[in-house]
Amino acid sequence: GAGVSQTPSNKVTEKGKYVELRCDPISGHTALYWYRQSLGQGPEFLIYFQGTGAADDSGLPNDRFFAVRPEGSVSTLKIQRTERGDSAVYLCASSQAGGGSPLHFGNGTRLTVT
Amino acid sequence: GESVGLHLPTLSVQEGDNSIINCAYSNSASDYFIWYKQESGKGPQFIIDIRSNMDKRQGQRVTVLLNKTVKHLSLQIAATQPGDSAVYFCAEMNTGGFKTIFGAGTRLFVKA
């Protein structure tokens, strides 16, 4: 079956603009995660959904970042008033049950804020 | 200050040799550990996992060793191939929660 799909694969935006990044998880996976990866570093946890609700959003850096998963499948990460420091690869992952299951990652969205 | 993350630890091995990649994890409450492989332009890919009630687990050409006493994890790759060239991340999780924490990564170069 299809893996985790993320769109767009690349996004260039100007400082101050609003962006939305989309994630389609593997069908049937109830757990969905967003991570951010800067060059040369490991993925950094942002937020975790179990079903429709955000079970842990402790990794969101500030209130400019928000994520939703209204129907328990597709998720959107929203960034308001983008800053150059937001430039990174944003990775989405899903898993079957959350705790104790490996993550299945998409190929990420490379966000560049100019 | 300098960002040490910009300079990934690097391991260079000859094709056909065995590779050992080491990782120190941070949380003594972590009870599930995973190794991921990341190729350029792609997301991390699951390789092998191990739970805290085990100290060794083998897969196809890969073995993971866990030493809980010193909070150390290692990944052994047998007969390393050029296709194994990538960045390898160890990750830890406390299954009472759901957050997977990644280490900084090691870049593996395989010389033909």
> For the segment B40-57, what is each residue's pLDDT rounded down to a tens digit?
999 999 999 999 999 999
Inter-chain CB proximity B99 and A44 less than 8 Å: no
- B33 pairs with which residues across the strands? B50, B92
Residue A36: pLDDT above 70? yes
Q: How confident is the model at residue B6 (pLDDT cuts 50, 70, 90)?
A: very low
- The four Cα atoms A87, A89, A90, A91 give a dihedral, to 10 degrees, of -170
| DSSP summary character for residue A64 | T
Interface contact B52, partner A, CB < 8 A: no
Q: How confident is the model at residue B8 (pLDDT cuts 50, 70, 90)?
A: confident
**What residue in A sits closest to B43 (Cα-Cα)?**
A107
**What residue in A sits closest to B34 (Cα-Cα)?**
A102
Is residue A31 a contact partner of residue A96, using CB atoms and an 8 Å limit? yes
Which pLDDT score is estimated for A3?
95
Residue B3: pLDDT above 50? no
Q: For a pLDDT cut of 70, what percent of chain A falls above it?
A: 98
Inter-chain CB proximity A40 and B103 less than 8 Å: no
Which pLDDT score is estimated for B77?
98
Residue A111: pLDDT above 90? yes
Which pLDDT score is estimated for B2?
34
Inter-chain CB proximity B102 and A44 less than 8 Å: yes
> First vs last Cα of chain A: how many Å apart?
37
- The four Cα atoms A36, A38, A44, A50 give a dihedral, to 10 degrees, of 10
Q: How confident is the model at residue B99 (pLDDT cuts 50, 70, 90)?
A: confident
pLDDT tens for each residue of A64-99: 999 999 999 999 999 999 999 999 999 999 998 767
CA distance B6 to chain A (A): 5
Interface contact B103, partner A, CB < 8 A: yes
Inter-chain CB proximity B105 and A102 less than 8 Å: no
User: For residue B60, what are its two tokens?
Assistant: 């196809």
Interface contact B50, partner A, CB < 8 A: no
Q: Which of B8, B17, B11 is nearest to B112 (CA)?
A: B17
Residue B75: pLDDT above 70? yes
Any idea what the Cα angle at residue B49 is, between residues B43 and B55, rounded to 5°? 150
Tell me the C-alpha distance between A79 and B94, whole Å: 29
Inter-chain CB proximity B99 and A45 less than 8 Å: yes
Stretch A49-77: mean pLDDT, rounded? 94
Chain A contact set for B103 (CB, 8 A): 42
Stretch A52-64: mean pLDDT, rounded? 93
Inter-chain CB proximity A108 and B45 less than 8 Å: no
Which stretch of A5-19, A88-102, B2-16 has the lowest confidence by average pLDDT? B2-16
Which pLDDT score is estimated for A98?
62
Q: How confident is the model at residue B4 (pLDDT cuts 50, 70, 90)?
A: very low
More confident residue, B95 or A105: A105
- How big is chain A by its Cα radius of gyration, in Å? 13
Is residue B68 a contact partner of residue A14, using CB atoms and an 8 Å limit? no
3-state helix, strand, coil in chain A (%, to 5): 5, 50, 50
CA distance B27 to chain A (A): 15
